């Protein structure tokens, strides 16, 4: 019997989940839930659209509810709230607040006999898995994460808030020399500036002071001041034509050694090269939604993360099939 999936929140991530569920014959999309007027929402798949309130009465129709909201304001309230009604999966990615978010979801889900999986996606998510596997295999190894080349939504938004900016797109770019030094097992010590550069494509208002905008960007604390940042002013047409995608990716690298005096070096790399950040993230959430349904069916309740999921549970294949063909 198909696992019945609901999606709450129909932005880029929700659409990514929708596309992934469509490609999974063992999953069934029950509906999209939105805070907008359902009549104003048209879905890619033709799935029915419901108002958020419908979630109160559809608990018998959905096995796993995937939350497509954002970490800043949506998920801190939504995930614990809906974990008391549904098995849930979210992509909460505010690293510093993961422990408190975990505790809130665990309390709600445990009390309701539901299972919630938080902080799913690729970072946190697949990159977290890469870190735990590699650090467990090679204790004492050096860890590196490089992001990009990819669009950072947070940095793009920060540029858009500058006076005189109409639109902007910011790419995080790993420094090739730094990555190659890590891949070669040199265990370099790298500053923030040595690991990534930032490329900004900015559409300015007509007559705006471009030098002032550029200066405000490159000196912006937290976002840009610790990086070598380049700013390109382009037209709105060029932005739409050349920079409308949301590519991303990166590498988790662990460099360690074994043997007498650490004579033998080992480098482990997990690398993603993604044309669409939200569609890939949605694909990850969908695979873990399958696992959540299985783990709940086996009696698991409370809150878990990707680190708690036996990998075989992500696959539609049986244990026998996996052992015969994938091992």
> Which residues between 252 and 291 bind its own copies (CB under 8 A)?
257-260, 263-276, 279-280, 282-284, 287, 290
Closer residue to its own copies (CB): 22 or 197: 22
| Interface of this chain with its own copies, residues 207 to 246, rule: CB under 8 A | 245
Query: x-or-dash pattern for its own copies, window 73-112, by CB under 8 A?
Result: ----------------------x--xx--x----------
CB 292 within 8 A of CB 2: no
CB 234 within 8 A of CB 137: no
For residue 300, state whether it binds its own copies (rule: CB under 8 A): no
Stretch that binds its own copies, among 152-160, 169-177, 201-209, 314-322 (CB under 8 A): 314-322
For residue 186, state whether it binds its own copies (rule: CB under 8 A): no
Closer residue to its own copies (CB): 138 or 200: 138
CA distances from 108 to 81, 111, 113, 165, 264 (A): 7, 5, 9, 43, 48
Closer residue to its own copies (CB): 213 or 272: 272
Mark 213-228 as b/e (b = at least 16 C-beta within 10 Å). bbebbbebeebbeebe
Closer residue to its own copies (CB): 212 or 319: 319
3-state SS assignment for residue 245: coil
What is the DSSP code (8-state) at residue 39? G
3-state SS assignment for residue 313: helix
Closer residue to its own copies (CB): 130 or 213: 130
What tokens does 236 get?
Answer: 């709105």
For residue 306, state whether it binds its own copies (rule: CB under 8 A): yes
| Interface of this chain with its own copies, residues 126 to 165, rule: CB under 8 A | 126, 128-133, 135-140
Closer residue to its own copies (CB): 158 or 272: 272
- How far apart are CB 196 and its own copies at their closest, in Å? 20
Closest CA to 123 of 150, 142, 105, 101: 150
131 sits in which H/E element: helix 126-137
């Amino acid at each position: 019997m198909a696992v019945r999936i609901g999606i709450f929140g129909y932005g880029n991530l929700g659409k990514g989940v929708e596309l992934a569920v469509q490609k999974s014959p063992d999953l069934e999309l029950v509906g999209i839930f939105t805070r907008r007027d359902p009549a104003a929402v048209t879905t890619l798949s033709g799935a029915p659209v419901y108002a958020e309130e419908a979630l109160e009465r559809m608990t018998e129709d959905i096995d796993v509810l995937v939350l497509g909201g954002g970490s800043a304001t949506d998920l801190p309230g939504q995930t614990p709230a809906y974990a008391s009604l549904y098995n849930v999966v979210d992509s909460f990615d505010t690293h510093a607040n993961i422990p408190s978010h975990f505790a809130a979801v665990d309390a709600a889900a445990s009390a309701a006999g539901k299972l919630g999986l938080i902080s799913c996606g690729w970072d946190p998510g697949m990159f977290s898995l890469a870190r735990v596997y590699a650090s467990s295999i090679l204790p004492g190894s050096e860890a590196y994460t490089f992001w990009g080349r990819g669009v950072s939504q947070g940095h793009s938004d920060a540029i858009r808030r500058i006076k005189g900016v109409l639109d902007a797109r910011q790419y995080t770019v790993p420094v090739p020399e730094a990555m190659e030094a890590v891949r070669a097992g040199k265990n370099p010590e790298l500053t923030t500036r040595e690991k990534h550069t930032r490329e900004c494509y900015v559409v300015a208002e007509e007559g705006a002071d471009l030098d002032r905008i550029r200066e405000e960007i490159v000196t912006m604390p937290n976002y840009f001041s610790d990086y070598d940042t380049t700013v390109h002013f382009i037209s709105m047409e060029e932005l739409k034509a050349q920079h409308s995608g949301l590519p991303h990716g990166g590498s988790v690298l662990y460099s360690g050694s074994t043997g007498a005096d650490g004579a033998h070096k080992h480098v482990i790399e997990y690398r993603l090269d993604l044309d669409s950040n939200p569609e890939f993230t949605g694909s990850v959430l969908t695979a873990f939604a399958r696992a959540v349904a299985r783990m709940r069916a086996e009696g698991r309740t409370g809150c878990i993360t990707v680190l708690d999921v036996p990998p075989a549970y992500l696959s539609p294949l049986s244990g026998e099939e996996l052992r015969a063909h994938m091992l």
